[in-house]
Amino acid sequence: MNPTLLIVAKAPVPGLAKTRIGQVTGHVLAAEIAAAALLDTLSTAASTGWPVVVAMTGNLADAARGEEIMAALADTRVIEQRGDGFGERLANAHLDADAGHGVVQVGMDSPQVTVDDYEKAGDALRRGSTVLGPAADGGWWLLGVQRGSDAQALPRVEMSRPDTAERTIAALGVDVTFLRTLTDIDTWDDVRAVAADLPESHLSRALRTAAA
What is the distance between the alpha carbons of residues 21 and 23, in angstroms, rounded to a whole number?
A: 5
Residues 6 or more apart whose CB falls under 8 angstroms from that of 116 comprise none
- Given this model, what pLDDT does residue 12 score? 97
Contacts of 211 (CB under 8 A, 6+ apart): none
Q: What CA–CA distance (Å, rounded) separates 7 from 94?
A: 10
DSSP state of 93: H
Distance between CA atoms of residues 192 and 189, nearest Å: 5
Q: Please give the pLDDT value at position 161.
A: 86
What is the residue-level pLDDT of the chain in tens, covering all 212 positions? Answer: 899 999 999 999 999 999 999 999 999 999 999 999 999 999 999 999 999 999 999 999 999 999 999 999 999 999 999 999 999 999 999 999 999 999 999 999 889 999 999 999 999 999 999 999 999 999 999 999 999 999 999 999 988 788 899 999 999 988 899 999 999 898 999 999 999 999 999 999 999 988 87
CB 7 within 8 A of CB 59: no
Q: Give the pLDDT confidence of 102-132 residue by residue, as tens digits.
A: 999 999 988 999 999 999 999 999 999 999 9
At 178, give phi and psi (nearest 5°): -95, 140
- 38 and 108 Cβ atoms separated by less than 8 Å: yes
User: Mind listing the domains of the chain with CATH numbers?
Assistant: 4-205 (3.90.550.10)
Q: Rounded to whole angstroms, how far apart are CA atoms 102 and 114?
A: 19
